[in-house]
C-alpha cells in the first residue's frame, strides 16, 4: 500500500541520539509526519541536538524504566542499544555488561506490548552475541518473523565514512515458520553490487559554514585546530588525516574524539580551503609508525 495514503506511523525511538533512525524512517517512507510518541536518550547533549533537528525533545530517562504503558499501541520500535558490550575494546562482555541490561529489558517489553515492526542497529559484534539470541527469542515468542540482517557501512552508498554496522528489521506476522531453518549470517541487500561513486567530504560540510565560502575562514577554523601540544605528543603520528577535497572515507569517531588520538576519528585537513602551503604549516610531518613511540594521549 502507498504509505502516503496511510495514517502516520506511531513510533518509539529508544537510544534516540541525534535522530539518525528518525531521519532514516522519514527518508524510507518519504514523509515527515510520523508520530514519535516516545523518544528516549540519557544524553543531554544528544537530546539538545535531537530537539534542534526535529523540534521535539526526547525524554531523558533510563530505558530500563520504560513500561508497557509507555510503548502500548506503537507501530514500530527503532533502537540502537549501547555497543560497548559487543566490542573487542570491552572484551565482548555481552550480557554480563550492565550496559546490556536495557536491551534485555526491551526484550521483556516486546513480548508484553509488541509493535508491528522493529529495527535495530549495533556494532558488527552484536551479530554473534548472546544478547542477540535473547532478543531474537523474545521476538519469536512475540510473533515476529525472523529478522532480516545486514552488515552495512556508509561507503556502500557513496558516503565517505567507514562505520561498519549490523542492522536488522523484523515484522510481526504471528507465525514462526521461518524460525525453523538456520539463520543466515546476513541477508542480501538489493543494489549493493552497484555502489555509487564516493562523494567528497566537503559535500557534507554545512553550506552556511563551508570554509571556501567564508570571508575569514582562518578565524572560523581556529577553535577547531589540533593544539600544538597534541601534535607534539607521542601519539600524534597516528592521526587519520582526511582531506576535505578527496573522496577518501573518514573513520568512525567515538565519544573520546578530541581527547585521545588513537582510534577516535579522523582529522579534517583543509589546506586548499585555507590556502596553507602544506601539512607542515599545520605542524604535521610525514612519518611511519616505527619512527616514534606510541602513546594513548
Domain of residue 64, CATH code: 3.40.50.150
- How far apart CA 142 and CA 108 sit, in angstroms, is 10
Whether residue 285 has pLDDT greater than 60: no
- How far apart CA 273 and CA 276 sit, in angstroms, is 8
- Tell me the whole-structure pTM to 2 decimals: 0.81
Low-confidence winner among 96-110, 141-155, 190-204, 269-283 (lowest mean pLDDT): 269-283
- How far apart CA 65 and CA 170 sit, in angstroms, is 24
Where b means 16+ CB within 10 Å and e means fewer, 2-23 reads eeeeeeebbbbbbbbbbbebbe
Low-confidence winner among 12-26, 260-274, 281-295 (lowest mean pLDDT): 281-295
Q: How far apart are the first and last CA of the chain?
A: 54
All three cell numbers of 45, joined, read 547533549
Among 144, 179, 214, residue at a domain's last position: 179
Higher pLDDT, 138 or 196: 138
Domain that holds residue 230: 201-291
Condensed to tens digits (0 to 9), the pLDDT of residues 132-186 reads 999 999 999 999 999 999 999 999 989 999 999 999 999 999 988 778 877 666 7
Contact indicator for 132, 106 with CB cutoff of 8 Å: no
Q: Which of 287, 244, 286, 288 is nearest to 266 (CA)?
A: 244
- How far apart CA 122 and CA 201 sit, in angstroms, is 24
Same-domain check for residues 170 and 64: yes
Same-domain check for residues 248 and 143: no
Whether residue 261 has pLDDT greater than 60: yes
Same-domain check for residues 60 and 27: yes
Higher pLDDT, 262 or 137: 137
Among 115, 147, 179, residue at a domain's last position: 179
Q: Which of 125, 121, 120, 122 is nearest to 89 (CA)?
A: 125
* Concatenated DSSP letters of 148-214: EEEEE-GGGGT-SEE--EEEEEEEB-S--GGGSSPPPS----TTTTSPPPPPPGGGGS-GGG-GGG-
pLDDT confidence of residue 4 = 65
DSSP-derived secondary structure letter, 255: T
Higher pLDDT, 213 or 18: 18
Same-domain check for residues 285 and 166: no
Pairing of strands 161-162, 250-251: parallel
Residue 184: inside a domain: no
pLDDT confidence of residue 120 = 98
What residues pair up with 268 in beta bridges, in sequence order? 242
Residue 252: inside a domain: yes
- How far apart CA 44 and CA 126 sit, in angstroms, is 26
Q: Which residues are known catalytic residues?
A: 83
Same-domain check for residues 42 and 94: yes
pLDDT confidence of residue 63 = 96
How distant, in Å, are the alpha carbons of 21, 78, 176, 179, 266 from that of 107? 19, 13, 17, 17, 35
Amino acid at each position: 500500500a502507498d504509505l502516503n495514503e496511510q495514517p502516520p506511523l506511531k513510533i518509539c525511538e529508544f537510544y534516540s541520539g541525534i535522530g539518525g533512525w528518525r531521519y532514516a524512517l522519514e527518508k524510507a517512507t518519504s514523509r515527515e509526519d510520523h508520530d514519535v510518541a516516545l523518544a528516549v536518550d540519557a544524553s543531554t547533549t544528544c537530546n539538545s541536538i535531537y530537539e534542534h533537528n526535529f523540534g521535539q525533545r526526547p525524554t531523558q530517562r533510563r530505558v530500563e524504566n520504560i513500561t508497557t504503558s509507555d510503548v502500548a499501541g506503537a507501530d514500530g520500535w527503532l533502537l540502537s542499544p549501547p555497543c560497548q558490550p559487543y566490542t573487542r575494546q570491552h572484551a565482548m562482555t555481552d550480557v554480563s555488561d550492565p550496559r546490556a541490561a536495557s536491551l534485555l529489558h526491551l526484550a521483556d517489553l516486546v513480548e508484553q506490548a509488541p509493535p508491528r515492526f522493529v529495527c535495530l542497529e549495533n556494532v558488527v559484534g552484536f551479530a554473534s552475541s548472546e544478547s542477540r539470541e535473547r532478543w531474537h527469542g523474545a521476538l519469536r515468542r512475540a510473533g515476529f518473523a525472523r529478522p532480516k540482517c545486514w552488515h552495512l557501512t556508509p561507503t556502500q552508498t557513496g558516503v565517505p565514512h567507514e562505520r561498519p554496522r549490523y542492522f536488522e528489521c523484523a515484522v510481526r506476522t504471528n507465525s514462526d515458520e521461518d524460525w525453523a531453518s538456520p539463520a543466515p549470517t546476513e541477508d542480501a541487500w538489493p543494489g549493493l553490487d552497484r555502489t555509487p561513486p564516493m562523494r567528497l567530504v566537503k559535500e557534507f560540510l554545512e553550506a552556511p559554514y563551508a570554509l571556501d565560502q567564508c570571508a575569514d575562514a582562518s578565524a572560523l577554523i581556529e577553535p577547531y585546530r589540533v593544539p600544538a601540544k597534541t601534535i607534539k605528543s607521542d601519539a600524534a603520528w597516528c592521526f587519520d588525516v582526511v582531506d576535505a577535497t578527496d573522496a577518501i572515507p573518514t573513520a568512525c569517531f567515538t565519544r573520546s574524539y578530541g581527547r585521545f588520538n588513537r582510534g577516535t576519528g579522523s582529522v579534517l585537513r583543509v589546506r586548499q580551503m585555507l590556502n596553507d602551503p602544506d601539512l607542515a604549516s599545520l605542524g604535521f610531518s610525514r612519518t611511519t609508525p616505527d619512527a616514534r613511540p606510541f602513546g594513548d594521549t
